[in-house]
Structure 1
């Protein structure tokens, strides 16, 4: 078996396989042990008095505080850790629940401040009668959610969108 075939079977590249081979030749099976797993990061903060003092102070006096306020207090009191570190210690100690992640694509935008300033149109598939599906085209006011036009079509297209716009123009008396 070639080195390339052996690397492929192990799921690593040829260079990594050659490194494994060199380490095996120098140290046998001991040479293949990943030594990174044996060392603790020099940046890791040990669970010590600092963590205990932070959690006890939070439990005793600052329970209503947000992570931002607690971090400001912690820094003012001589702490040198980051906001993320303070927030993580609170969550690890089960003092606050972790917030559900919010996707950037789900952020709500501001509504239009005045009625009739902006209209919104949407088309979605609905089953009105068993076995038959149509697209419901709705044109509505962004500020008030008032529907100006609603109708079913077989399939949403440019003409159905323009029909919704025409109905809104006629209803509101625009351009007359």
Structure 2
């Protein structure tokens, strides 16, 4: 079994390992991504849910804008417009409020 390794093994040119840590948004990679167009009521429809995008400081609405819906493995959902995260939702569609402390769900 080890004869093959003994016969064909080559010593490394340098010592150490070649591991390079990932420096990025892993959650943005390990998710299902879908595009939606925001309707006139500033909502998107996704898997039977109606998700309203809250008013943003930099923009009042996203009507007719194309947004990206990212669904994580746990079912949570986030809406992005370009690199900007607009809102997060629990798997049942409840808005997750993230500003001002720990994440909590809106009633």
Return the TM-score normalized by structure 2. 0.26
Return the index of the structure with the highest Cα Rg.
1
Asked which structure has the greater RCO (Cα within 8 Å, sep 6+), the reply is 2
Return the TM-score normalized by structure 1. 0.18
